Structure 1
């Protein structure tokens, strides 16, 4: 389909226009997280015609994802397909100019430069605050904008972070809150309309940032608060904090960590991600043989190795990461990893 015909409806929107479409098609975006928010964002950007879309996610598809994560099917859940692979499978038939770049990895201080170096904009589809604070540090240090988005229960927040022009995440939330102090999709639930509203607003702001020329009226940074159940929408002024430790003082502790945490509890499920084999690919064949008499439901699923021990399901990735499902105890997850995979 000729590009002029494919995108004629959105190029008739005056603030975007044909010139904006050209800028979209030459843009490069990184999407961190391909779950509920990420699925809506990925579809929106592919259909809008962004040039390059890097998809970063550490997880596999499970059945509880299906009510709100729009890129996945029951087959993906049955096969425990990596979310980035399932996303590409669903997005590729859309066609158009978008090049998809899937990365099945946990974004951390050790690899963020490698994975985000070429992007013009970062979109937040993550499910944990640690990754968001990491992205915020990198965004401010490298002067690359990002758009924060979060949804829980029926509500959500969106904040475009524009380095040098508005507040960063730490202007508003200077430090990560203590564990358990905020509601999560596990404790409070989440409904798909809230996800859709948050992601759609993120996508709209992303298109404006990518498509508009430098001399266009600039986006005014603000914190957007919404509730899909009550219909409430609020736009809150969000000035920069001169005393912000990140964009004010230039401190980037989330980038400075030499050894990222080897175990992270995942939102919305009884599972822990363990990553201690950095830079060393596990020997799947040897491990399969060693586990033959110890594990149940031992099987290979493409590049993955899956097995169950002690009422715990373990999925091992080729980069050495493991999803330990059935516990939220990071110490137990690390012990299981050491016991059955090796430190």
Structure 2
């Protein structure tokens, strides 16, 4: 057994057998922002060698305050988050096999992503995707760990199919639907606190220490020194459409997903086209170069015509920076990208 894990192996609930299990388990991390980078680094350092990271965005200066795998160089070059994360993680652990997916998750992608996965880690910032994770977890019997942070507040809950209430059950009873990033900001310590709880639960699951799971929803406000631990098992709903007796998994239906999204706290609208075939970014750049400032790398195209900036990815998805008005964003999208 590799010396690098000697201290972890000395921890008897993991031991040599648990370390071997970590090596062979496959974890899916959805989101490569504050939560995702912290989760990915902890699991990579712990010896989880098979990790898939999914994110739709690229590194910006405002990320560097709390998203621990990224550097100023990544922000300057607007490197996709999952590409920068993969490079850092493989430098941390050369045995790690990191799969980087630059995609905006829809039900179609979700069903593909969960194949062969042992655990899903929630590191996203919107409930469209979280509810898709929840339904995929229930449909394919894969545990997942919910986590969210905003300001100085954070929350986490471990969901085990056929045992615990799912997120859909909780949404009907608890006021957690507003927990996304927003203009209220965020401080880095709450990220580390929540990912500590998420990843210790992950280690328990991945090493089959099921009896050690917390089985409670926890929340913290580290600025006001408040914390709570809630037993939610009685909230499991036998009629829940996601985990009840006759589930229909409604959030895996594409019709239930929006094709535009206002990105929280960023004055940005994301537009997903109807088709996701690969775009010729070089050709598009040549069409735009006489209209505004065009920058390009092999992953994306940036086009600025003040007061707006557009970022197009190879799958045709566009981020419209400078507005949170969906109608205005669509108008601009059609004007410049057809």
- Shift of the 32–175 alpha-carbon distance from structure 1 to 2, 3 Å rule, reads farther
Q: Distance in 1 between matches of 2:237 and 2:212?
A: 20
For residues 116-147 of structure 1, what are the alpha-carbon distances to aligned partners after superposition, in whole Å with 9 as ceiling and x for unaligned? 21211000110111110111011111111110
Q: Does 1:48 align with 2:51?
A: no
SS of equivalent to 1:54: strand
Q: Does 1:289 align with 2:283?
A: no
Q: What is the Cα deviation at residue 268 of structure 1?
A: 2.5
- Shift of the 235–259 alpha-carbon distance from structure 1 to 2, 3 Å rule, reads closer
SS of equivalent to 1:286: helix
Q: What is the Cα deviation at residue 230 of structure 1?
A: 3.2
Q: Distance in 2 between matches of 1:202 and 1:177?
A: 20
- Shift of the 84–176 alpha-carbon distance from structure 1 to 2, 3 Å rule, reads farther
Q: Does 1:263 align with 2:288?
A: no
SS of equivalent to 1:111: helix
Contact residue 89 and residue 96 of structure 2 kept, 8 A: no
**Structure 2 match to 1:205:** 201
**Structure 2 match to 1:232:** 226
Q: What is the Cα deviation at residue 97 of structure 1?
A: 3.1
- Shift of the 277–246 alpha-carbon distance from structure 1 to 2, 3 Å rule, reads closer
The count of aligned residue pairs is: 335
For residues 97-120 of structure 1, what are the alpha-carbon distances to aligned partners after superposition, in whole Å with 9 as ceiling and x for unaligned? 321000000111121111221211
Q: What is the Cα deviation at residue 231 of structure 1?
A: 3.4
Of 28-37 and 103-112, deviating more is: 103-112
**Structure 1 match to 2:109:** 111
**Structure 2 match to 1:38:** 36
Contact residue 46 and residue 96 of structure 1 kept, 8 A: no
Q: What is the Cα deviation at residue 11 of structure 1?
A: 0.8
Q: Distance in 1 between matches of 2:273 and 2:306?
A: 21
**Structure 1 match to 2:304:** 308
Of 310-319 and 125-134, deviating more is: 310-319
Contact residue 49 and residue 96 of structure 1 kept, 8 A: no
- Shift of the 283–78 alpha-carbon distance from structure 1 to 2, 3 Å rule, reads same
Contact residue 183 and residue 264 of structure 2 kept, 8 A: no
After TM superposition, list the pairs within 5 Å mapping 1:184-195 onto structure 2. 184-195=180-191
Counterpart among 326, 332, 339 of residue 328 in structure 2 = 332
For residues 240-273 of structure 1, what are the alpha-carbon distances to aligned partners after superposition, in whole Å with 9 as ceiling and x for unaligned? 2233232114131110224742211112211111
- Shift of the 268–175 alpha-carbon distance from structure 1 to 2, 3 Å rule, reads farther
- Shift of the 107–177 alpha-carbon distance from structure 1 to 2, 3 Å rule, reads farther
- Shift of the 98–18 alpha-carbon distance from structure 1 to 2, 3 Å rule, reads same
**Structure 2 match to 1:251:** 248
Question: Cα RMSD between the aligned structures?
Answer: 2.0
TM-score by length of 2: 0.93
Contact residue 134 and residue 255 of structure 1 kept, 8 A: yes
Gaps of 5+ in 2: none
Q: Distance in 2 between matches of 1:112 and 1:80?
A: 25
Contact residue 80 and residue 299 of structure 2 kept, 8 A: no
Q: What is the Cα deviation at residue 175 of structure 1?
A: 9.3
Q: Distance in 1 between matches of 2:72 and 2:212?
A: 43
- Shift of the 176–137 alpha-carbon distance from structure 1 to 2, 3 Å rule, reads farther
Of 318-327 and 217-226, deviating more is: 217-226
**Structure 1 match to 2:192:** 196
Counterpart among 183, 208, 211 of residue 217 in structure 1 = 211
Counterpart among 161, 185, 198 of residue 163 in structure 1 = 161
